[in-house]
């Protein structure tokens, strides 16, 4: 999204990348977000994972890393940007050819997947752009199977040490940033057991939510 060493791009290109400028922003995001992504993925427990959904797949870097972490998984990516869909396909061309990667133009508010479809659902650097956040979180969480995980990651969260920087980012990019306890509570209200990981000095946060197994009575 927007970090201290980030190249300058039109803020609109981070919400919905388009054209050559959007492609440049996506390529920048692939590079810029890699350390954050690798850090967040390190907190996902090892588990049997056959089907993954990446919401807001951007330039496709996360899908590439997920395919290495879970080599037997079939991965679906969705985004609202045609440029993102095309770059994700190119970034993961071999996975697409193998039938392991499927990328489509779909909004989080209208995901074309049923409840409990995926073992892992990821949303990296994207939730703050979602149009109806509470409902969109619930819809995304509903696609997570029992014992599966819903992972939300951001390089920015409200914190007094970063208030001036974050206030400017919120204004420039039109973000809807939740406090960490608010996101945790929202995910827990969707039936997830949530662990929160932070690197305070970098203003990074990862929410790892596990779908709680329904208890029979």
pLDDT by residue (tens digit) across 85-103?
Answer: 999 999 999 999 999 999 9
What domains are there in the chain, each with its CATH number?
A: 16-211 (3.40.50.150)
Rounded to whole angstroms, the maximal C-alpha distance in the chain is: 57
Identify the three-state secondary structure at position 174.
coil
- Say which residues have a Cβ less than 8 Å from residue 18's Cβ, sequence separation at least 6: 81, 82, 83
Residue 4 pLDDT: 43
Tell me the per-residue pLDDT of 106-153, one tens digit each, with 9 for 90 and over.
999 999 999 999 999 999 999 999 999 999 999 999 999 999 999 999
Q: What are phi and psi of 112, to 5 degrees?
A: -90, 45
Question: pTM here?
Answer: 0.92
- Would you say 82 and 57 are in contact if contact means Cβ atoms under 8 Å apart? no
Distance CA 117, CA 178 (A): 27
How high is the mean pLDDT of the chain? Answer: 92
């Amino acid at each position: 999204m927007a970090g201290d060493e980030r190249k300058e791009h039109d803020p609109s290109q981070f919400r919905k990348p388009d054209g050559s400028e959007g492609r440049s922003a996506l390529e920048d995001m692939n590079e810029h977000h890699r350390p954050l992504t690798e850090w967040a993925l390190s907190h996902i427990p090892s588990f049997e994972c056959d089907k993954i959904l990446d919401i807001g797949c951007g330039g496709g870097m996360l899908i590439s890393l997920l395919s290495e972490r879970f080599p037997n998984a079939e991965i679906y990516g969705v985004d609202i940007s045609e440029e993102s869909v095309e770059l994700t396909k190119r970034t993961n061309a071999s996975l697409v050819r193998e039938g392991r990667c499927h990328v489509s133009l779909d909004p989080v508010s209208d995901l074309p997947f049923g409840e409990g479809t995926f073992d892992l659902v990821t949303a990296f650097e994207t939730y703050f752009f979602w149009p109806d956040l509470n409902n969109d979180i619930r819809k995304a969480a509903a696609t997570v199977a029992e014992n599966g995980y819903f992972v939300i990651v951001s390089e920015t969260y409200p914190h007094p040490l970063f208030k001036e920087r974050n206030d400017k980012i919120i204004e420039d990019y039109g973000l809807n940033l939740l406090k960490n306890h608010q996101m945790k509570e929202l995910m827990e209200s969707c039936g997830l057991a949530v662990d929160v990981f932070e690197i305070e000095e970098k203003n990074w946060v990862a929410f790892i939510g596990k779908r709680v197994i329904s208890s029979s009575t």
